[in-house]
């Protein structure tokens, strides 16, 4: 899908969070790096309408998330750093099934699909457990399952490994960068993950300062900071 930003600026209470960003992206793995407060999350949130531009135009697969929030949410799944904010239902299976509540599928089909996604990410043994009793890594895999089951075309993950230990970070990164068939936008401070993307964008001071091949952009970032 084409992610197209044309002269996009975002201000919160008159303070600029994103300044004149223009970029067209259709790569499968898109990494986003930059210092704290540089505008990464603001960029990520524009893609599904969680944030709307103060000026300029965003389209994702031809949909303007600021105008058609419902279509944008259907098309783009969003993963947060803290999986607790995404868990809605008491048990793991119920939580994944909840994503299909308005799919028009029968209860039986919803259960089957939800279980298949849990199997895919190897957490089906947790299906009947209380979602809040899971470890951080298991919760993040649950959050990803609850997004993937609805079959979005794009998945935006804003620092999805920030709260995870080494093993769980690796597993979540493997899912997002190697296993998903969807297009993925990955915001991360982990430069090893960024290095594995097809393209990376670097934000600094609310501006998109560089985008392209990961290696030279990461080197410049390390040299400057």
Ligand X SMILES: Nc1ncnc2c1ncn2[C@@H]1O[C@H](COP(=O)(O)OP(=O)(O)OP(=O)(O)O)[C@@H](O)[C@H]1O
Q: Quick one: 117 or 201, whose CB is closer to ligand X?
A: 201
Between residues 113 and 202, which has the closer beta carbon with respect to ligand X? 202
Name the segment binding Mg ion (CB under 5 A); options: 6-14, 41-49, 103-111, 192-200: 41-49
Q: How many beta carbons lie within 10 A of that of residue 195, not counting itself? A: 14
The only residue of 5, 8, 17, 208 in contact with ligand X, by rule CB under 6 A: 17
State the nearest-atom distance from the C-beta of 138 to ligand X, in Å: 24
Q: Which residues contact 206 (CB under 8 A, 6 or more apart)?
A: 16, 17, 18, 19, 38, 39
31 or 99: CB nearest ligand X: 31
CB of 37 to Mg ion, least distance (A): 8
Contact 81, 163 (CB under 8 A): yes
Q: Judged by CB under 6 A, how many residues of this single chain contact ligand X?
A: 12
Q: Of 34 and 65, which has the nearer Cβ to ligand X?
A: 34
Asked if 41 interacts with Mg ion (CB under 5 A), we say yes
Least distance (Å) from ligand X to the CB of residue 32? Answer: 8
Show the tokens assigned to 40: 């990464």
- For ligand X, give the closer residue by CB, 3 or 97: 3
Q: Is 12 in the site for ligand X (CB under 6 A)?
A: yes
Q: How far is the CB of 50 from Mg ion (least distance, A)?
A: 12
The widest CA-to-CA distance across the chain, in whole angstroms, is 55
Q: What is the C-alpha to C-alpha distance for residues 135 and 97, in angstroms, rounded to an integer?
A: 20
Give, as ranges, the residues between 34 and 63 that touch ligand X (CB under 6 A). 34, 36-42
DSSP for residue 137: H
- Interior CA angle at 117 toward 159 and 163, to 5°? 20
Closest CA to 93 of 107, 77, 78: 107
Binding status of residue 138 toward ligand X by CB under 6 A: no
- Whole-number minimum distance, CB 79 to Mg ion, in Å? 13
Integer Cα distance of 168 and 31 in angstroms: 19
Tracing tokens 């999350």 back to the chain, one arrives at: 41
- Measured from the CB of residue 172, what is the shortest distance to ligand X in angstroms? 17
Q: Phi-psi region for residue 16, left (φ > 0), alpha (ψ -120 to 50) or beta?
A: beta
Which residues make up the interface to Mg ion (CB under 5 A)? 40-41
């Amino acid at each position: 899908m084409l992610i197209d930003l044309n002269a996009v600026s975002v201000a919160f209470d008159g303070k600029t969070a994103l300044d004149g960003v223009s970029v067209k992206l259709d790569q499968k793995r898109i990494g986003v790096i930059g210092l704290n407060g540089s505008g990464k999350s603001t960029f990520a949130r524009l893609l599904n309408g969680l944030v709307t531009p103060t000026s300029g135009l965003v389209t994702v697969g031809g949909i303007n998330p600021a105008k058609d929030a419902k279509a944008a949410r259907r098309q783009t799944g969003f993963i947060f750093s803290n999986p607790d904010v995404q868990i809605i239902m008491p048990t793991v299976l119920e939580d994944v099934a909840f994503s299909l509540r308005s799919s028009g599928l029968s209860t039986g089909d919803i259960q089957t699909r939800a279980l298949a996604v849990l199997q895919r990410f190897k957490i089906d043994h947790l299906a009947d457990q209380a979602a809040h009793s899971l470890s951080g890594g298991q919760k993040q895999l649950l959050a990803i399952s609850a997004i993937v089951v609805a079959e979005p075309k794009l998945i935006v993950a804003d620092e999805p490994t920030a709260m995870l230990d080494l093993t769980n970070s690796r597993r979540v990164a493997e899912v997002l960068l190697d296993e998903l068939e969807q297009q993925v936008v990955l915001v991360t401070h982990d430069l090893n993950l960024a290095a594995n993307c097809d393209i990376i964008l670097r934000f600094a001071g609310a501006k998109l300062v560089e985008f392209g091949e990961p290696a030279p952009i990461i080197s410049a970032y390390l040299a400057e900071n």
